[in-house]
Structure 1
Amino acid sequence: MSDEQAGRILSWTNDPSKPGFTPLPGAIDAHCHVFGPMAQFPFSAKAKYLPRDAGAEALFALRDHLGFSRNVIVQASCHGIDNAATLHAIAASGGRARGVAVVDPAIGDAELDRLHAGGMRGVRFNFLKRLVDDAPKDKFIAVSQRIARLGWHVVVYFEADILEELRPFLAAIPVPVVIDHMGRPDVSQGPEGADMRAFRALLDSRDDIWTKVTCPDRLDPKGAPYDDFVRAVRPLVADYPDRILWGTDWPHPNMQDDIPDDGALVDVIPRIAPTPELQRKLLVDNPMRLYWPEEM
């Protein structure tokens, strides 16, 4: 490790296992990130964590190792509103990646057009106080109105304890909405627990709210093989098959104390989506509809 990376957070393994499950041809890792490299793409002065470099080359090597075909790269909070690292990775992908940006609420239409040309297809609004200092709902609504002409969607990241507070905000967004990690429910409650019932009510409130059935490593306190996560999430996948996405969350921001094995995460897929039809919707058809609709 170089002196430049010394003291920075490592949250991923350099030798993930080869999953037993083979993703379908065309499968998409629809939630991942890149970090730096810092010398080329400095981190935000407001960043709450300082990771080691995890750039496009490492991401695409993982993609190939796990058996995926494409990536959706979500702008990491450590880079703030400077999307350069994500745009660089998309450009380096040879058309095999698209992205979700984080933007200044005052962004102009010309900059939105530039992001679209660079492969962005959505904006992310983060409500985790440990990651961001400010989440102005009124300004976020204004941004969501301005991206409608581009055919973009909004990605929202929050924890289950503020779902009720966010309902009016989510209802006011005029474009499709994707909820990161199901709003981080307590999966130990099971599929009929209060958190999952509340999240289902949100999905039932409008038919263009999607979700990422992701991050058993974050959500299941018992850890691998993530039985509580599977038990809670499998019925959700069955009941909302056309509005689900999956991703590795690599390089697993802030998971330095319990680094997951990406191969083991992939092996959760057939346990929550046990049929070939569900697997195709989850890994191919649904992310293609959102991120490569021109190829559908």
Structure 2
Amino acid sequence: MTHTSMAPACDCHIHVFDRDREYIETTYQPPRKGIGHFMEETAVSDIRRAVLIQASIDGTDNHYLLETLRQAQTLNPPLELRGVVMIDEHTSGLEAMREAGVRGIRVQDRTRLGQHDLARLPELAARAAALDWHVELNTEPERYDILAALLPTLPEGQTIVLDHFGHVTPGHPDELTRLCRLLDTGRVWIKLAPTRVSQHPRRYDDLIELTRHLVERYRECCLWGSDWPHVMTPSPIPSSLDMIRFLERTLSISQRQACLRDNPERLYRF
């Protein structure tokens, strides 16, 4: 099969943990992996861009994320990097964060993690809208009705990006129907990050039908993310190449170009 380059492809969901420090939350103990490790592991791919997502265990302390954004500018070969932060009412300096490459605010709303921040969405969306940022929401199908009720209250044009396929369960049509209702509003995007929802590690065959359905209906608002370095992911640990191969088996060339290159370029303003 002839390879069709997707460069500069973007991995829209990575974390870095390359330092000695106490974490604000201790839900898990991450591996020590920095941005250099990410580049080494993706060197043979078409990935030239990435989005660094504030990890839940760092809370609203975004200093290391901002430091990594600065570090990426000095790498050889260069990596175009953007960031998504977590904030609270005391967080200041958002304009400087935007200049550094931040493009969004993350909201954690996962029952399993004991996080219920969906009620803060209007407040955080207002702060995001003032900077032309999106809001990245880590939530689950049981909370979709609440999100649907909140959408009309958000600033006009505010984009919401759902993490990890929206945590829908493959083969559960009721969850997919509710997800599609959100996507039909035109205000919600979806991140095709498979590791938290697939029961078929490294091949993701149980996500083929779901992925095709979403990209065929909502091509302009689909992104891809690896969730590197795959914390809390059972063995075998996946690789970005596993996921790229999955997309090659599942989507057309033009669909992959949208998810890997064109849509990230618009949302994150590379």
What is the TM-score with the length of structure 2 in the denominator?
A: 0.89
- Does structure 2 retain, via aligned residues, the 8 Å contact 1:47–1:79? no
RCO higher in structure (CA 8 A, sep ≥6) = 1
Amino acid at match of 2:248: P
Verify: 1:60 aligned to 2:44, yes or no.
Answer: no
| Equivalent position of 1:17 in the other structure | none
Deviations 1:220-261 (A, max 9, x none): 224342222011221210111111100111011211454223
Query: 5 Å matches for 1:113-128?
Result: 113-128=95-110
Deviations 1:189-233 (A, max 9, x none): 3xxx111111101111x2121111121x32122434222201122
For 2:5 and 2:12, the matched residues in 1 are separated by: 13
Identify the match of residue 96 of structure 1 among 76, 80, 96. 80
TM-fit CA distance, 1:70: 0.7
Aligned length: 262
Deviations 1:100-119 (A, max 9, x none): 001113323xx111211221
TM-fit CA distance, 1:185: 0.8
Q: Percent identity?
A: 28
For 2:127 and 2:148, the matched residues in 1 are separated by: 21
For 2:26 and 2:45, the matched residues in 1 are separated by: 29
| Equivalent position of 1:156 in the other structure | 137
- Does structure 1 retain, via aligned residues, the 8 Å contact 2:42–2:241? no
| Equivalent position of 2:214 in the other structure | 236
For 1:284 and 1:123, the matched residues in 2 are separated by: 21
Q: Which runs of 4+ in 1 moved over 3 A?
A: 20-23, 129-134
Consecutive unaligned residues of structure 1, counting only runs of 5 or more, are 1-19
Query: 5 Å matches for 1:65-84?
Result: 65-84=44-63
For 1:172 and 1:36, the matched residues in 2 are separated by: 39
Identify the match of residue 198 of structure 1 among 178, 194, 209. 178
For 1:85 and 1:58, the matched residues in 2 are separated by: 16
For 1:198 and 1:254, the matched residues in 2 are separated by: 27
CA RMSD, aligned part only?
A: 2.1
For 2:193 and 2:5, the matched residues in 1 are separated by: 15
| Equivalent position of 1:220 in the other structure | 198
Identify the match of residue 278 of structure 1 among 240, 255, 266. 255
For 1:197 and 1:188, the matched residues in 2 are separated by: 11
- Does structure 1 retain, via aligned residues, the 8 Å contact 2:202–2:239? no
| Equivalent position of 2:161 in the other structure | 178
- Structure 1 residues 257 and 24, CA, compared in 2 at 3 Å: closer, same or farther? closer
- Structure 1 residues 258 and 160, CA, compared in 2 at 3 Å: closer, same or farther? farther
TM-fit CA distance, 1:131: 3.3
| Equivalent position of 1:12 in the other structure | none
- Does structure 2 retain, via aligned residues, the 8 Å contact 1:74–1:100? yes
TM-fit CA distance, 1:50: 1.8
Consecutive unaligned residues of structure 2, counting only runs of 5 or more, are 74-78
Amino acid at match of 1:102: M
- Does structure 2 retain, via aligned residues, the 8 Å contact 1:35–1:76? no
